[in-house]
Amino acid sequence: MRPLLFLLLLAIGGTTQAAGMRFSLVKTAETETRDAFTIEGGAWTEKAIANHVAVLIEHHAATLLLDTSLGRQVDQQFESEMPWYDKPLLRYGKVTPVRDQLDRDGVQVDRILLTHSHWDHASGLADFPEVPVWAPYEEIEFSRIAPPPAVLPSQFAHAIRWMPFEYTNQPFMGFEQSLDLFGDGSLVLVPMVGHTPGSTGLFLTLDDGQRYFFTGDTSWRLEGFTGPKEKFWISRNMVDNDRDATFKQLQRVHELMREDPALIVVPAHDETTQRSLGYYPNWIE
């Protein structure tokens, strides 16, 4: 083969080779609360930070966003629709919306996955009206009927490009059903019914085999799974749609962590776990 032709084919091959997968936690705000409010048996004398994040995922086939966190319109959404008696418990700090952070770097999102439709996970949907939103049928219906403080109706007032999905009967990591998004095992959705009727978890496996499990709000803290421990009774009465089903999910993940100590579980609001991974524009790959 002529040297020039060889170099040309090598260059073409290099440009078509699939890039590795990576993810980044995009932090929008944080809430300062009491340790006792976040988990059963917590201390009232200790402060706790609850993060609000989305997860930006770059797969060679698409760029995805797991949840949207707090968006550009969250102040208006919160003040006009959140019940006055819930506001002191759910108040958040300064917000830097996901869309602002991604636009600054020219990042475009191909699809959004929702772990669930609660206000602090879906606030930014209005900032991405052009992006398809993947969720189970049960969660889409829940977003239409659930009242505040769980769901703020204005967050779903625009024309959302819903992409309803169903799980297959393919077991994965102890779950009876799953949905392999790209057929390569790198991004696998599993049902975590309890916190909401269509709550979803996401297993993400990097090229080196390290696996992460994004568990939404089944527990706000990692201690909820290592215990297992429920949320504080006032908290769970406010936010957990089905207490018994939620606790079963806690037990399931607890057993999974015992069986697979290398698995990194990332609850949606656990500041300690998330800080150890770093925030956008820091990437895990």
The full 3-state SS of the chain, as one line of letters, equals CCHHHHHHHHHHHHHHCCCCCEEEEEEEEEEEEEHHHHCCCCCCCCEEEEEEEEEEEEECCEEEEECCCCCCCHHHHHHHHCCCCCHHHHCCCCCCCHHHHHHHCCCCCCEEECCCCCHHHHHHHHHCCCCCEEEEHHHHHHHHHCCCCCCCHHHHCCCCCEEEECCECCCECCECCEEECCCCCCEEEEECCCCCCCCEEEEEECCCCCEEEECCCCCCCCHHHHCCCCCCHHHHHHHCCCHHHHHHHHHHHHHHHHHCCCCEEECCCEHHHHHHHCCCCCCEC
Domain that holds residue 248: 20-277
Q: What is the CATH number of the domain that holds 34?
A: 3.60.15.10
> 62 lies in a domain?
yes
Would residue 210 count as lying in a domain?
yes
Considering its fold, how many domains does the chain have in total? Answer: 1
Residue 29 inside a domain? The answer is: yes
Whether residue 7 lies inside any domain: the answer is: no
Assigned domain for 282 exists: no
User: Does 69 fall in a domain?
Assistant: yes
Count Cβ neighbours within 10 Å for each residue of 213-246 and write b for 16 or more, e otherwise: bbbbbbbbbbbbbebbbbbbeebeeebbbeeebb
From the list 118, 26, 121, the residue with the least C-alpha distance to 69 is 121
96 falls within a domain? yes
- CA distance readout (Å), 18 to 49, 61, 120, 181, 207: 38, 8, 34, 16, 11
- CB-based burial label for 123 (10 Å; 0-12, 13-18, 19+): buried
Residue 195 near residue 216 (C-beta atoms within 8 A): yes
Give residue 19's pLDDT: 58
What local confidence, expressed as pLDDT, does residue 20 receive?
A: 84
Q: Is the pTM of this model over 0.85?
A: yes
Query: What are the per-10-residue average pLDDT scores of the chain (285 residues)?
Result: 39 44 98 95 96 97 98 98 94 97 98 98 98 98 96 96 98 98 97 98 97 98 97 94 98 98 98 98 97
Q: Is residue 272 in a domain?
A: yes
pLDDT for 79:
97
Q: Which backbone phi and psi does 16 adopt, to 5 degrees?
A: -95, -10
